[in-house]
Every structure is written in structure tokens, then in C-alpha cells.
Structure 1
Amino acid sequence: MTTILVVISLLYALFTLTLWITWLRIPLFQPAHNPATGPFITVIIPVRNEADNIGRLLADLSRQTYVHFEVIVADDSSTDNTLAIVQAYSKTAPYALRPLPLTDERTASPKKRAISQSIALANGELIITTDGDCRVGPDWLRSFAQFYGQTNAKMITGPVTFTTEASVFDSLQTVEFSSLIGSGACTLALGQPTMCNGANLCYVKEVFWEVNGFAGVDHLASGDDEFLMHKIAARYPDGVRFLKSTQAIVTTQAHRSWRAFYNQRKRWASKWRAYESWLPSLLAVFVFLSNAAPVVAVLGWLMGVMHGNSVLFVVGLKVVPEFLFLRQVLVFLQKKSSINIIPLTQLLYPFYVVFFGLAAQGKGYQWKGRNLN
């Protein structure tokens, strides 16, 4: 058993150190300050019951330094004042703002439906998606427009982090989320796309239709971002890029309750079984085993079947490379205050991964007031 755990941990350490080095090698993109023309952009915001948040995002869009854009807010039968707020704001917005009320019909993936119907109405050459509870900086759209102009990428994934770190729970989520953003960026840079986030995602509208949109994955509630990325990457192997720019960072709210956190992470974890590419599925299993290894090692020590030095070696192979990688990603995301929480996250994360890896085997979760499979 000791040999197996050490081998798994060595492979994980090598993997994490590769991510760390790759992250350092991804160039930081700085958009130019001078006014520039560029592609017309359609920002799509699928929403449901975001009355408390949507006004702030619409105001952020009013302050964009890039002006060649429109906004479509696809309201998925909100039961609060979300639609009314958007309709009122559209009368005075300094950009074209189109509320899109969606019919209240049963669908396996409400978000994919909202995005697809919005793209059908979009005038933009580029589509950028975000969520109703997000915040964006003034150079957000400029960053994507200029990066697209330089790279001609078919899809551009962007960085996402949390708005505040008011509690330990917030900081734990920030550290955990940074690992996902960083890992997705690095595997993409290595030519093996695995994950991205629909709260900050850009792609060419014609390419969306070229790969037939969400067809083939529209029966899955989640994955409007990652499954589309895999389809585009399969068609354009060098066409998906990560935008490493502080101006492009999107912030969103950390979960206030454990139930909301549980439902979202279960939704995310449930996607891996549907991947057509072998790599994301293999990576999911590898991460599960790598996080289970120190737990098994500690249990083995408590049961007297593993030597203490071997346990320390297994644990060290995990926590040291992880700390180096996570610290660098958090610095970029301007979340230095969460660096001190990394050790606590590392203590809890193995149990978290094992728990959600098992929870994902069951079907069903609640999201936005709906029960989805």
C-alpha cells in the first residue's frame, strides 16, 4: 500500500509543479489604453432571480472603456423583479440593452437554452457570457477585444474569482476556486483543455454555430462552458486561449450557505462522466486518487500499517507543490489575503474531493429554485 500511495503522490507532485511552471510562463496581457476599434461584441447574461445583483452588473457595463457592444439579458422566468429592473435600465443605458424574457417551459438545461436563444438574436461577432451576480472592471471588454485582435482565437477563457473574503468560508472558497481557474488555464496552455468558467467566456459567434452549439450535450444541466470548449478545441486545436489579464478578471459572490455550495459543487462534479474526451475524465479520477492518498496514508498510520515518515512524505508531496501553485494564482487574482488560508484548504480539500466525488454518483440537485438531473 505504501508504494502505491507514494507513486500516486509523486505523480501528483510532478503534475502540480508542471502547472506551477506553466502558469509562470503564461504571458500577462496588458490591454492598450488608447481608444481602439475592434469587433462588435454581444454580452449575454442568463439570469433567474438576480434582482439583488443585476443592477450592479449593468452599471459596470455602462462604465466600459470599449463601446462596440450590446447586451442581451435572458431572463429565465424570474419570480422576483429581475426582468423589471432590466427593462427599466434599458431605457437609459448608454449601450444597446435588450431584455429577453424566456418562456417558462421545462428543459434539461435552462442556461444552455438561454444562451442559444440569445445568440440567435445577437449582432456581435464575438459572444461573451457572464452571470447576473458578477461584477466586471471598466477594461473587461477592451481586454477581450484586443486579445482577440492579437490572437484570432476562436474561444477565449477568462479568470474568475470571488468578490469578498469576509469570512473563513469565503476564503476557503476563494482558494479552492483559484485552483480550478489556474488548472484550467495551465492545461489549456499545455494544449489539453480541461475546464473553464461560463462567468467569463468569449467565443466567435460563427464558430458556435459551426460546432452546432450545445447539440449533443443539451440534455445535461451543466457544462454550457466546458463542453462547448471541448467541441471548439476539437475543431480548432490551437484556437482556444486563456486571457491572463488582471483587467479581464470577473468577480462573483461566494456562496453564503453550505446548501448552495453543495448543490453547485455536486452539479460541477456530475459533469465528468459525460466528457467525450478521455483527458478530463482521467484527470478527474487522478485528482480524486491524489487527494485520497494522504487520507488513506493518515488512516494507515493510525492503524499501524504505515510508518510515520512515509506518511509525511506522501503529505509533503501534495502540500508543497500545491502551495507554490495556489499562491501564484491567488497573487494574480489579487487575493493575497487568502494565501494564509491555503494550509487550511489543503487540510480540508482531500475530504472535500472524496465527498463530492462520491456525491456526484447520485443524480439530482437543486439550482436556482429548480430540481435538475
Structure 2
Amino acid sequence: MIWLLIFIVTFYAILIVWLAVGFKKVDTFKEIVTVNKTSFSVIIPFRNEVENLPILLKSIAELNYPKELVEFILVDDASTDNSVEIINKFIQKPQRFSVLKNIRTSNSPKKDAITTAISVAKYNWIVTTDADCILPENWLQSIDSFIQNTNPKMVVAPVNYKAKNNFLEQFQLLDFMSMQGTTIGGFGMGFPFLCNGANLAYKKEDFILLNGFNGNNNIASGDDIFLFEKFIKADKKSVGYLKSSDAIVTTFPVKTWIDLINQRTRWAAKTGNFSSLKVKLIGLLVLLTNFVVVYYLLFGSLKMLFIPFVLKIIIDLFLFLPTIQFFKIKSNFYKWYIFASFLYPFFSLLVIFKSLFFKYHWKGRRFKK
């Protein structure tokens, strides 16, 4: 078992250092154009978001971007609360808004909602975000600057959590930061393999050319990653990462452990459908590393009990530190990091097990893998 430990930890360390180097290689984008030119159709699906919509709508009202260059399309996915009424009151403000009913055609409500909105979108650049997000003031301005400077077909941009100073929310924040760091690192090493639909932009014409979500709309989640894979396969150089603090969209952690397990199960359920063998091997390596940590914590000798755990938390810092610096995470990082690192291997194995053998619940509906 000791040789297997050495083998797995060595390759895991190589992976994390590789991603950390990639993170540094992605330059922070600072070019700001003087004239905004890009017209955007911003698509926001929602379902029972009565608590979050006022925050989102307030941030929309405060966006620093010409109103004549942007429209907002909000798609109601069978809400049973007062979400639509809240939006209708806000529409009196001077933005271009439309509220649509989701047209369900597949097993994926969110993909259907985005497709419904794209079918009526006026502009070629589509931007997606979520109803539980806060949009930064210069969000669209930074995306426009990036488009004008780099001429991409898809733009992947950063997402952060607004987390309270308690273990549940800090655990989610750290878990999410690992994904954000991995996303940026992959771009830096010329192997982009992750994105987040809460902050994603792409050309409508290319969405149509690539047949949108066709081929994966039987999978409930993955409105971002499977489309991203299509864009990468078609033209990897046309997909860029916007590493800018002005572009960071903020969202909120879930409020219970049950909701967190269901959310992460939903995310994990799509991994087996990734088209890239290399991405699957990366996922397998991370899974094996977490398994080894759990095995030694539960069954290891007193001499070896904490060695894999300590090695992993030291290795992870290579990617965590530049990531939290970029996202300006100011909470008591090291205190939460130790506790979260102890729980995470158990949590990740539970999520993988649940995603393989059980259905999951999300927003009042039950889905299978």
C-alpha cells in the first residue's frame, strides 16, 4: 500500500503544481477600451428565486454599461413563488427586459431555458448568469474589453462565493476556490477543461452552428461544460479566460448540508459524460487521492495515520494561495482550511457514491444521472 500511496501522491502533486504554474501564466486582464461596442443578450433562468432576485436586479440596475447595448432575458422555469411579480415591478426601470416561460423539450430544464431565450435574443453575444448572483458594476464593460482585444468566440470568467464566517459556508467557499483555481490553471497550461455557467459568454452564431445542447440534453446539468467542450473541440484558441477582478460574479453558498450534497451530486453526475479522456483521468486521480487519505485516516497505522492528509493539504496550498489572492479571500483562511481539508475527502467520496447510484433533488425536483 505504501508504494501505491507514493505513486498516487506524486502524480497528484505534479497535477497541482502544473495547475499552479498555469494559474500564474494567465495574465490579469487590464486593457479597458474607451468605447463600448459589443451588444449583449444576458440570459438568466430562474425558479423560485424570490429571496435572491432583488439582489440580482439591484446589481443589474447598477451596471456600468450603455443600456442601448444590452437586453436582459429572464426565463421562468415553473416558479411557484412571487419571482415573476418581483421582476415585473423592476421592469419599470430603464433597462431592456423580457420575461419568458421556459419551453421544456428535454430532461434539462436549464438548457431548455437558455435555448428558449437564445431563440428570441436580439444580439449575437450571449451572456449567461444565475438568478442567485450579484453582478459587478463593470462586468459587461470588462467582457466587452476582452472581446475587442482578443476576438474570442467564447469567454469564460470568474465566479466567487459570498460566504459567511461559519464552517458550512467556508467549506463551500474553499471547495469552490479549488475549482476556480483549477479552471484558470487549465487555461494557463493550454488545456482548458472547466467553466461555470454563472459567468459565461459566447456567440449566438457559434451556438447555433454547434447545434447548441444537442447530444447532451438528456443530462439534467451541464448547460455550461458540455457547450464549452463543443467550443473547445471546434476551435480551442477561440475560447479565452477573462482573469479580471472587474469580471468576478458573486453567488451564494447553499444553507444546509443536505442541499450542498445534492448540489455537488448534481455537478458530479455529469463527469462521466465528459468527452475528454484526459479530463476523466484527472478526475480519477483526484478521486484516488481522496480515497487514500480516507483509507489511512480510518485504517492506517498510528505511524502513517496523518501522512497522506498532511501531504495533501501542503500540496493543495500551491494552487489555493494564488487563487485566494486573486479572489481577495479575507476570512481566517488557515483555520477553515485545516478543518475543510479534513472533511473534504470523506465528503467527495460520498458525493461520487451518491452520483453513481442515487437520484438527487434540486429546486424541488428529482433527477437521475
Shorter-chain-normalised TM-score: which range?
over 0.9
Amino acid corresponding to residue 253 of structure 2 in structure 1: A
One-letter identity of the residue aligned with 2:351: F
Q: Quick one: which amino acid aligns to residue 117 of structure 1?
A: T
The answer on whether the counterparts of 1:189 and 1:241 sit within 8 Å (CA) in structure 2 is: no
Q: Please list, as runs of the form range in 1=range in 2, the aligned pairs for 1:320-335 lying within 5 A after superposition.
A: 320-335=314-329
Q: Residues 338, 76 of structure 1: CA spacing in aligned structure 2 closer, same or farther, 3 A cutoff?
A: farther
Paired residue for 2:360? 365
The one-letter code sitting in structure 1 at the alignment partner of 2:80 is T
Alpha-carbon shift at residue 107 of structure 1 (Å): 4.1
- SS of alignment partner, residue 121 of structure 1: coil
> Which residue of 2 is the match for residue 336 of structure 1?
330
Report the Cα offset of residue 21 of structure 1: 1.8
Partners in 2 of 1:212 and 1:236 — Cα distance?
15
**Equivalent residue number for residue 101 of structure 2:** 101
1:1-373, aligned counterparts within 5 Å?
1-32=1-32, 35-67=34-66, 68-92=69-93, 94-102=94-102, 107-302=106-301, 308=303, 313-340=307-334, 341-373=336-368
Tell me, what secondary structure is at the counterpart of 2:145?
Answer: helix
Does the residue aligned with 1:212 lie in a helix, a strand or coil? Answer: coil
C-alpha distance in 2 between matches for 1:255 and 1:42? 28
1:17-47: per-residue Cα shift (whole Å, max 9, x none)? 1111211221111252x64222101110000
Structure 1 residues 360-369 or 131-140, which shifts more?
Answer: 360-369
Paired residues of 1:323 and 1:342 also in contact (CA < 8 A): no
Q: Secondary structure at the match of 1:70?
A: strand
The one-letter code sitting in structure 2 at the alignment partner of 1:361 is L
- 2:56 & 2:222 partners in 1: Cα distance? 23
1:313, distance to aligned residue in structure 2 (A): 5.0
Contact 1:174 1:338 in 2 (8 A): no
Change (3 A) 1:286 1:324: same
Conserved? CA contact 1:193–1:230, under 8 Å: no
Could you tell me how far apart the structure 1 residues matched to 2:231 and 2:139 are? Answer: 23
Paired with 2:17 and 2:287, the residues of 1 have a C-alpha distance of 18
Alpha-carbon spacing, 1:298–1:81, altered in 2? closer, same or farther (3 Å): closer
Shift of 1:3: 0.3
Aligned residue for 1:187, secondary structure, equals: helix
RMSD: 1.7
Could you tell me which runs of 5 or more consecutive residues in structure 2 were left unpaired when the two chains were aligned.
none
State the SS of the aligned residue for 1:217.
coil
Percent sequence identity over aligned pairs: 33
CA contact (8 A) 2:50 2:81 kept: yes
Q: CA deviation at 1:106?
A: 7.5
Alpha-carbon distance in 2 for matches of 1:153, 1:84: 37
Shift of 1:260: 1.1
Q: Secondary structure at the match of 1:287?
A: helix
Aligned residues of 1:170 and 1:255 also touching (Cα < 8 A): yes
User: Secondary structure of the equivalent of 1:202?
Assistant: strand
1:330·1:338 contact (CA, 8 Å) conserved in 2? no
Shift of 1:280: 2.2
Relative to structure 1, the CA distance from residue 249 to residue 298 in structure 2 (aligned partners, 3 Å threshold; closer, same or farther) is same
Q: Are residues 178 and 361 of structure 1, via their aligned partners in 2, closer, same or farther at CA, if it must alter by over 3 Å?
A: same
What letter matches 2:320 in structure 1?
L
The C-alpha deviation readout for 1:224-282, integer Å capped at 9, x for no partner, is: 00000001100012121211111111111111011211111110111111122212222
Q: Is the 8 A contact 1:162 1:253 kept in 2?
A: yes
Residues 1:106 and 1:207: Cα distance change in structure 2 (over 3 Å): closer
Give the partner amino acid of 2:261: Y
Distance in 2 between residues matched to 1:31 and 1:337, nearest whole Å:
30
The code of the aligned residue for 1:74 comes to V
Q: Deviations over 1:2-24 (max 9, x none)?
A: 10111100110111111112112
| TM-score of the superposed pair, with normalisation by structure 2 | 0.94
Q: Distance in 1 between matches of 2:309 and 2:64?
A: 47
Distance 1:109 1:207 in 2: 21
Shift of 1:183: 0.5
Q: Distance in 2 between matches of 1:31 and 1:170?
A: 34
C-alpha separation in 2, matches of 1:204 and 1:106:
22
SS of the residue aligned with 1:337?
Answer: coil
Structure-1-length-normalised TM-score? 0.93
Per-residue deviation, 1:300:
4.5
Structure 1 alignment gaps of length 5 or more: none
